[in-house]
Amino acid sequence: MLTSIKTNELQFESQKIGMMYFRVAIILFGAQLLMGLIAATQFLFPSFLFELFDFSVARMVHLNALIVWMLYAMIGSVYYMIPFETGREVVGAAIAKLAFWVLTAAVTVVVLVYIFIQVGPGTEQTLWLIQEGREYIEAPRWADIGIVVVVLIFYFNVFSTYLKGERTGIMTVMVANLFALAGLYLTGMGYTDNISMDQYWWWWIIHLWVEATWEVFVGTLAAFALIRMIGAKREIVEMWLWIEVLMLFGSGILGLGHHYFWIGTPEYWWEIGALFSALEPVPLVAMFVHVLYDWGKEQGIAKAKGQTASIVNNTPAMTWIVANAFGNFLGAGIWGFFHTLPQVNIYTHGTQFTSAHGHLAFFGAYATILIGMMYLAVQSAYGIKIMKSTSLSKWAAFMIMFGVMGMGIALTISGYEQVLVERAELGATWNAFFTAQNLTWMVQGLAWRLVMGVVTFIGFVFLVLDLLSIGKNAQVRERAGV
């Protein structure tokens, strides 16, 4: 992918800009994993990097890098798909490039400030210059304002290209959804010293991003990718997409209530949150069925025409997109459903079980498909007709998926112990917390999380090596006619 900076065969500026976003995304993904490894080590050996690098900072950078690399890869995906969907070049390529550099410079400064200024007073100045203290989206206010400007430029570009070009169903969903996604960011920029109110609005971003707008985003990516990879029929894919959007918004928006059980919000949220969030797995099943259905159908049609080979023209991308369909259902749907009813959540709230769900869901629903999009972009950058998985692609996919699943299972076991001992048996007191933290079940789970984290990281290194080499190699082979 990096080697394609100068030599790529992308015809459109829009797609070159998409590549710029993908490159930064993969670097931030690496940074996220390194920070996770540091934090996981500190769980087991609290003196690790003592007074040099605080756990709170490692955790904060782990989470912010996660969100930012995903947003970068999402913007990259949009710029990549624009010419395919609208049939034309993006309207303002020059300003889009400028916005990219401004954003990247701002992200670098924000991260350096996080790392160098680890502790300090919580003043107005901290809010403006250092960080806002809202988990996942801690960027200080100056950066918040910068982000809004950059996003406005991005949205202007996408929307005006959409208006001037062809208006496919996929692109219509994309522009409408991006409007909601960007607008929600504003709800996290206000300030209040009431913690309940602060949390109330904070969930508008976190929940309404990952369980409504980001999910719809993934639906459009999957629809687009299925058309590109297996030649799925647009009418069928778009029909699915509309149904999925309806179900995702129908359950996800009021599903917000599952975060309003215990933060001082009115009690009617118990029923609303329970009902609607319990429905959230339904569209995730639909999305899973959709991918498998289209794949089977297109392969069946090809067979009927006497074609024997697989119809997939980019197997690494397909691997990651099928992993997405399944991982979204598993991590978000099943692990989410486990703890979503208030009767259960009163015990599991804020335990390692939550962390297990957080890892499996973010990975299953988002990391997977965004990696898939990178493989699609590499294929286009080298002008390859059929791109097959290499052994590096397979090892990368296997180790990353095995590693993250392993972390999720380890954390689930620790979470069970925490729920049973700390919450149910000992009554959630201060002492109960420490007793539960020190029991073997907890400690072993945390140790396995670290081991599986290392497996994930090795898989990530393979992934980078693969993205750097797969395009060139496939191009050489294809041109030589082998």
Task: Give contact residues for ligand HEM (rule: CB under 6 A).
Answer: 33, 36-37, 39-40, 43, 59, 62-63, 66, 135, 210-211, 258-259, 277, 280-281, 332-333, 336-337, 339-340, 345, 349-350, 354-355, 357-359, 361-363, 365, 367, 404, 453, 456-457
Q: In angstroms, what is the minimal distance from the CB of 133 to ligand HEM?
A: 13
Residue 360 contact among Fe ion, ligand HEM, none, beta carbon within 5 to 8 Å by kind: none
Q: In angstroms, what is the minimal distance from the CB of 19 to ligand HEM?
A: 22
CB 241 within 8 A of CB 220: yes
Q: In angstroms, what is the minimal distance from the CB of 71 to ligand HEM?
A: 13
For residue 75, which of 137, 5, 15 has the smallest C-alpha distance?
15
Q: In angstroms, what is the minimal distance from the CB of 194 to Fe ion?
A: 21
Helix, strand, or coil (residue 152): helix
Q: In angstroms, what is the minimal distance from the CB of 80 to Fe ion?
A: 29
- E strands, 320-411, are none
Q: Which is nearer to ligand HEM, 237 or 370 (CB)?
A: 370
CB atoms within 10 A of CB 313: 18
Looking at the DSSP assignment, which residues form a beta bridge with residue 387?
314
Question: How far is the C-alpha of 377 from the C-alpha of 371, rounded, in Å?
Answer: 10
For residue 340, which of 252, 424, 400 has the smallest C-alpha distance?
252
Interface contacts to Fe ion, rule CB under 5 A:
207, 211
Q: Which is nearer to ligand HEM, 23 or 359 (CB)?
A: 359
Q: In angstroms, what is the minimal distance from the CB of 319 to Fe ion?
A: 28
CB 152 within 8 A of CB 186: no
Residue 281 contact among Fe ion, ligand HEM, none, beta carbon within 5 to 8 Å by kind: ligand HEM
Q: Which is nearer to ligand HEM, 97 or 349 (CB)?
A: 349
CB 221 within 8 A of CB 174: no
Q: Which is nearer to ligand HEM, 357 or 423 (CB)?
A: 357
For residue 393, which of 318, 454, 303 has the smallest C-alpha distance?
318
Residue 338 contact among Fe ion, ligand HEM, none, beta carbon within 5 to 8 Å by kind: none
Q: Which is nearer to ligand HEM, 16 or 339 (CB)?
A: 339
Question: How far is the C-alpha of 412 from the C-alpha of 127, rounded, in Å?
Answer: 35
Q: Which is nearer to ligand HEM, 337 or 433 (CB)?
A: 337
Task: Give residue number: closest CB to ligand HEM.
Answer: 336
Report, in this order, helix, strand and coil percent for the chain, each rounded to 5.
80, 0, 20
Question: How far is the C-alpha of 74 from the C-alpha of 69, rounded, in Å?
Answer: 8
Q: Which is nearer to Fe ion, 207 or 290 (CB)?
A: 207
Alpha-helical runs (H) found in 305-341: 315-327, 335-338
